[in-house]
A and B are shown apart, each in its own frame.
Chain A
Amino acid sequence: TLRLICTTTAVQKNNAGASGPEKYTEAFIKKQIEEFNLGKRHLANMMGEDPETFTQEDIDRAIAYLFPSGLFDKQARPMMKHPTEIFPEQRKIQWGEDGRPFHFLFYTGKQSYYSLMHETYEKLLNVQKHQDQLIAQDLPLQKEKRNLAGSRWLTKIELEEMLLEKLSDDDYSRFIQLLQKLVALPCADIEEKYIQKFSREVPVQLQKVVIEPLQYDERGVAFSTGEGKRKTARATAVVYDSGTGKITVNGIDILHYFPVLQDREQLLFPFQFLGRIGKHDMVCTVSGGGRSSQAGAIRLASAKALRSFVTEKEVEFMRQAGLLTVDPRVKERKKPGQEGPRRKFTWKKR
């Protein structure tokens, strides 16, 4: 019987893709870190800077200078970062040389999740015991409200990253319920540090838009300015507080500048929404774009200018109505191999 002796390694391997991403050993990571530090010092010397005080930003700048790249994707450009940022965290081998696992909950499958649940429950029992002690001593229970408004619990993805193992939605919700139960108890302040590990600050109204106050011109009439854009058109609008809803665009009355009804309706919309059609005068300048995009740009500019005349609640209504959002639609790029952004060439059977 003939046996195949010379075989390729591909056939010998059972199944190349089944083992998942490559596992890095600890030694490998340590070596990478050493190489990174060495490289950092070399780079500092090359750039003529002090190796001791060479921060990550300096590294980024140096790499961008030495290896300029025109690629659009920032992740595709050459980068030099600490190995912990590049190589994702992986779990070390969970069992020793004799095959015995280290952790006592290894055979549950989700060892870190269950150990976390156990810990949290332990803290809960701790708090209850402390509470009982206080009651026994007739001392008043501390009732300091934690600021729940500015914080949120970890999301499921963040928790998975922390525990380095997959969770199901059910597990996650059970964990959050346990945390909430813990926080609800009056003496939870003892375990404050533990709880803070699982809560994140919510940035309160990130980038709160500042509403400019009204300005007054020589005649004493209040006015405010706003800028808007749409596609390629840029517009600035000055809204005055006196009467008669007259609107002038680039020195021309809107009836002549926008003969189409649709454009005038666009201009009308912010005023109609606030119910102030005949109350404000407006003078605008607009350039670029076509007829419709100029109308959209002026609409945005006038809505932004009207914010100063109006209460905060109405500003919120305007924002929800979409009057204050810049329209992100622009002309889509033409792709090679096609006639336009979406249209393909005529298909010929032969």
Chain B
Amino acid sequence: QLERGCALHTAARDCQSSLSSQDVPAERPRAVFHTSESDPAKHTEQHEGRLYHIPLEEVKAVFPHGLPHRFQQQIQTFNEARVMVRRPALELLAYLKGSNLAHPAVRYVIYGERGTGKTMTLCHVVHYCSRQGWLVLHIPDAHLWVKNCKELLQSSYNKERLDQPLQASVWLKNFKTSNERFLQEIKTQRKYMWGKRESTEEGRPLGEVVEQGLARVRSASDAVGVVLRELKLQSPRGSFRLLVAVDGVNALWGRTTLRKEDKSPVSPEELTLVHNLRKMVRNDWSGGAIVTTLSQTGSLFKPSSAYTPQELLGREGFDTLDPFVPIPVPNYSPREFESCYSYYLERRWLQHEKAHTEDGKAELQFLSGSNPRQLDRLAGPL
């Protein structure tokens, strides 16, 4: 069995080296399921089930904060980033390509059971948009903003609201890394006052607002609000296209675990960041798209079996997001499972001798139920 595994590995290497310049046809049953097509724009149904490569510098530039933790670890281990092309992502990309930017922004909600690849789909879409030159507003996990916050300040802008300086500054930093060039191009349209002394004049590049937010951590949440407002106002003009990508959007309408100093619970509207984000997610602007993901794993006070938009968003959230295009993400199809399995084999992630056999593969498929997260966790110790 060991020799068979080695033979497969060498055969795979040969395949890959010889066919690196062209697309791999689907006829070969033992072919490695890779594509050399790195541009998500060119991904079609022919590439379904294949893994495509993202160069590491691009990863750092495009996804400073978006990828799931386990995937980041996998990138570090394998020294390369490979994302699988799956049907929901292809669907979304088709919609985006065909969308009319003059119309109000269409909302897409990616939903599915736990561990089926919603965040990865979102990242695929974000990569496509950044390649196409869109301005990407990527919020990695909205749940981080509604729980485990150490500092809550009363907002200077609006007395009733609460600020979260830490989260806001972290997000601003990542936003800067991902959208460097836009920050110079976009100009502010209004004068903004930061406290008594500092202000930003009209017509200054947006980069200054971001710097202001990073320098003065107290006003970071307000800086975030300003950035969001500017982008929303300017995107209908058509100089750039805006993509709002929110992961875990159900956090915006649920409950929070935060409390004020008098131990009364905080509702999400009272947080500046959440308030501004809700304004972004409403479809009263045009020139872009809003892609969101539901997430049960970080959600608070929701049962673990809930995964449909109705359950997770609640009445309020559903009404606000309605109408939207739902995009369900299922578990791996047999073909996708095969490609993931052969990828692990090729990278020598599966060390156990039985894992190389057909029986081992059937066992893995049974035990993981073709769920990507379960498969990942199972393959870890092997």
Contact = CB atoms under 8 A, between A and B. Distances in A.
Interface of A: 245, 253-256, 261, 264-265, 268, 271-272, 275, 277-278
B376 to A, nearest CB: 13
A277 B359 CA distance: 8
Given A255-B374, A256-B305, A264 B362 contact: no
A265 B305 CA distance: 22
B359 A255 contact: no
A270 to B, nearest CB: 12
Contact of B366 (A253, A256, A275, A277): A277
A255 B378 contact: no
> Taking chain A's interface residues, is the majority helix, strand, or loop, or is none over half, making it mixed?
helix
Interface residues of B, number: 11
B366 to A, nearest CB: 5
Interface string B347-382: 000000000000100110111010100100010000
A254 B368 CA distance: 10
Given A255-B374, A256-B305, A275-B359, A264 B367 contact: yes
Contacts of A272: 359, 362-363
Given A255-B374, A261-B378, A268 B363 contact: yes
Contacts of A261: 367, 378
Given A253-B369, A254-B369, A255-B369, A277 B363 contact: yes
> Taking chain B's interface residues, is the majority helix, strand, or loop, or is none over half, making it mixed?
helix
A265 B366 CA distance: 9
A264 B367 CA distance: 6
Contacts of B369: 253-255, 264
Contacts of B359: 272, 275, 277
Contacts of A255: 369, 371, 374
A244 B363 CA distance: 13
Nearest to B377: A261
Contacts of B365: 245, 277-278
Given A255-B374, A264-B369, A277-B362, 12 more contacts: A245-B366, A253-B369, A256-B305, A265-B367, A268-B363, A268-B367, A271-B366, A272-B363, A275-B359, A277-B363, A277-B365, A278-B365
Contacts of A278: 362, 365-366
Contacts of B374: 255
A275 B362 CA distance: 10
A256 to B, nearest CB: 7
Interface in B64-86: none
A278 B371 CA distance: 16
Contacts of A253: 369
Interface in B162-216: none
Contacts of A275: 359
